[in-house]
Amino acid sequence: RQGCFNGTYEYMGLTCCKCAAGKSVEEHCTSQTQTRCEPCEPGKQYQSHANELKTCESCTTCGHPSANLEVDRQCTPLVDSTCKCKENHYCSSGTTPCKICEPCQLCDSEGIKVACSATNNTICNDKSKGIVSPCGVSVLVISACICIVKDYIYFLFSFRKICLFLVRNLFFFLQGSNLNIKLTLGPHIPQIAEVITWKNMRNLAMKSGIHASKIESCEQDHQNSSTERTIALMRIWEEKESRAASEKLVQFLKETYQNSKAEEVLTILRGGNS
């Protein structure tokens, strides 16, 4: 038929025009008349496409008391209504459109990890992360106290060591600076040689500028006795340093952190001149 802008359909051997969207068939066409259409009832019915149906579709309702839905878009003769979850609810039916919504979970002190949305429930943090138990607080306090006490003990121990170091070195400084010029090494060289060892004597001689050939000569002449070679080199060194030898020997031992040896040398020197 001409003039059927919405298409046609067959009825009782006749070709009838379809009704436009938003309407339904009130009477089918006859050989004499065209299809007669009537509009859908606003707010209650709709028809979204051209059709040959005798009734419009009923609008979707969102007011079921247990569904927790509310109207998102109102129904019109052309378009069905749509629903959405009420505030603080999420769709639990897993369907599109949603049929049933449930209240969003409330998180306690652990806090929210993922906020509630139209399609997902709230996800809370693990309670172990959000709540500190009294036991946990106690452990933290005890641990902190242990650390403080440990640091305090370490401080006292370190402070004591520093004090002892300063006092001891002050003692050696005073002893060394007060060495009487008459405290010569000569009579005490054999005894001192056993205290300071060949290695120290060789290093002291090299530091004092004694030629390497003299040091090697002492080594060759006394290959079987480190004490004898120490004595020989000490006599050469004393001759070079003269009366300052005693003080320089003690000072060398202190500078090389051999305070116990320095103390022994001082004892030998003072004991022999008392």
- The domain limits of the chain are 8-58, 83-128, 142-169, 179-272
Asked whether 176 and 254 are in contact (CB, 8 A), the reply is yes
Residue 136 has pLDDT above 70, yes or no: no
16-33 confidence digits (pLDDT tens): 999 999 999 999 999 999
179-272 CATH fold? Death Domain, Fas (1.10.533)
Half-sphere exposure of 228 (CA within 13 A, CB side): 9
Long-range contacts for 193-199 (Cβ within 8 Å, ≥24 apart)? 193/227, 193/230, 193/231, 193/234, 194/227, 195/261, 195/264, 195/265, 195/268, 196/230, 196/249, 196/253, 196/261, 196/265, 197/226, 197/230, 198/226, 198/227, 198/229, 198/230, 198/233
pLDDT at residue 144 greater than cutoff 90: no
CA distance 37 to 8: 13
Instruction: Choose between 149 and 210: higher pLDDT.
Output: 210
- The span from the CA of 251 to the CA of 175, in Å, is 10
- Give the predicted TM-score (pTM) of the model: 0.42
The tens digit of pLDDT for each residue in 171-195 reads 444 554 444 434 778 888 998 998 9
Position 139 confidence tier, pLDDT thresholds 50, 70, 90: low
User: 83-128: same fold as 8-58?
Assistant: yes
Please tell us whether the domain made up of 8-58 is placed in CATH 1.10.1790.20: no
Question: How confident is residue 166, by pLDDT bands cut at 50, 70 and 90?
Answer: low
Mean pLDDT of 232-261: 90
Question: What CATH fold (topology level) applies to the domain 83-128?
Answer: Tumor Necrosis Factor Receptor, subunit A; domain 2 (2.10.50)
Report pLDDT for 110. Answer: 84
